[in-house]
Amino acid sequence: MQISGSSAVVVGGAGGLGEATVRRLHAAGAKVVVADLADDKGKALEQELGVRYVRTDATDEGDVQAAIAEAEAAGPLRISVDTHGGPAIGGRLVNKNGEPLDLAGFRTTIDVYLTGVFNVMRLAAAAMARQEPADGDRGVIVNTASIAAYEGQVGQLPYAAAKGGVVGMTLVAARDLSPLGIRVVTIAPGTFLTPAYGKAGDQLEAHWGPQVPHPRRMGRSPEYAALVQHICENDYLNGEVIRLDGALRFPPK
């Protein structure tokens, strides 16, 4: 699929992995819409790159539709990348005081990290379905899971459940959308050092870096963005979850 001339929406595009993706797709010639809740960062990207920023809550139907409409106005929407984050609760299923993990917090985590991805995917696919195919392809949807989907750590149950849901949606979405010529691929990152961590990044690198078999460091957001570009351009990648983790497997703690 040709990136140049396509429209792309990047949900969470003002975040660490998202910004790198916005820059990469923009450099490859896509007309990019940054859909995020971080107004300052989104507007700064708008100013710097000439991309469009649309304030968007991934879990909100109207917001996502507005971001997609903005992308469609710029050209055929062929790329939807979802890298949004948000609040996630943590804690053991039963804590040291014998209290069960909070139900409302679990629901919030699922809403942001799973329902939000579903919302973006369904609305992006419907928009892609409205346009003419190019060589049989209408577009590609890239989701972001985590290796926590496979080996969630102690205290990560809600997040792992949501990311497991993103993994589970990938093949069935690709099957559902195959008659429309729309591909669906999910990236499951290991630990990535992004600017969002600020000074805490050094501590994270010191903790995680030595645990990664090779390269012995955290991932960098341009490495994530490079994979997004490859997924867009490689028409035979579909229905797959790709781990991007330097062979890291999360230990229990």
Kindly state whether residue 164 participates in binding ligand NAD, applying the rule CB under 6 A: no
- Cβ-based nearer residue to ligand NAD, 17 or 237: 17
Q: What is the phi/psi pair of residue 22, to 5°?
A: -60, -45
- Residue with the two structure tokens 């919302």: 119
Which one, of 191, 194, 189, 193, lies nearest residue 163 by Cα? Answer: 189
Q: Does 70 bind ligand NAD (CB under 6 A)?
A: no
x/- map, 89-108, ligand NAD, by CB under 6 A: --------------------
Measured CA to CA in angstroms, residue 149 lies from 24, 89, 163, 176, 228 at distances of: 26, 15, 5, 22, 19
Residue 192 found at the interface with ligand NAD (CB under 6 A): yes
43, exposed or middle or buried, with CB in 10 Å at 0-12, 13-18, 19+?
A: middle
83: contact with ligand NAD by CB under 6 A = yes
Residue 159 is among the residues annotated as catalytic for this protein: yes
Contact residue for ligand NAD among 21, 25, 79, 116 (CB under 6 A):
116
Sole window of 55-63, 123-131, 168-176, 234-242 interacting with ligand NAD (rule: CB under 6 A):
55-63
Nearer to ligand NAD, 76 or 248 (CB): 248
- Closer to ligand NAD by Cβ: residue 78 or 243: 243
- Minimum Å gap between C-beta 181 and ligand NAD is 27
From the number of C-beta atoms within 10 Å of its C-beta (0-12, 13-18, 19+), residue 223 rates as middle
Residue among 55 and 131 whose Cβ is closer to ligand NAD:
55
**Annotated active-site residue in 159, 197, 224, 236:** 159
Q: Is 188 helix (H, G, I), strand (E, B) or coil?
A: strand
CB proximity list for 139: less than 8 A, separation 6 or greater? 1, 6, 77, 78, 79, 80, 124, 125, 128, 131, 181, 182, 183
- 57 touching ligand NAD, by CB under 6 A: yes
What angle (nearest 5°) sits at the alpha carbon of residue 242, between those of residues 213 and 21?
A: 95
Question: Which member of 6, 21, 146, 186 binds ligand NAD (CB under 6 A)?
Answer: 146
Among 7, 109, 170, 191, binds ligand NAD (CB under 6 A): 191
Asked whether the beta carbons of 112 and 88 are under 8 A apart, the reply is: yes
144 lies in the binding site for ligand NAD (CB under 6 A): yes
> Number of residues in contact with ligand NAD, rule: CB under 6 A?
27
Helix (H, G, I), strand (E, B) or coil at 182: strand
Here's the x/- map for ligand NAD, 6-35, by CB under 6 A: it reads as -----xx-xxxxx-----------------
Which residue, 234, 219, 80, 193, is CA-closest to 143? Answer: 80
At 62, is the secondary structure helix, strand, or coil?
helix
Residues with a known catalytic role: 159
Binding residues for ligand NAD (CB under 6 A):
11-12, 14-18, 36-38, 56-59, 83-86, 112, 116, 144, 146, 189, 191-192, 194, 196
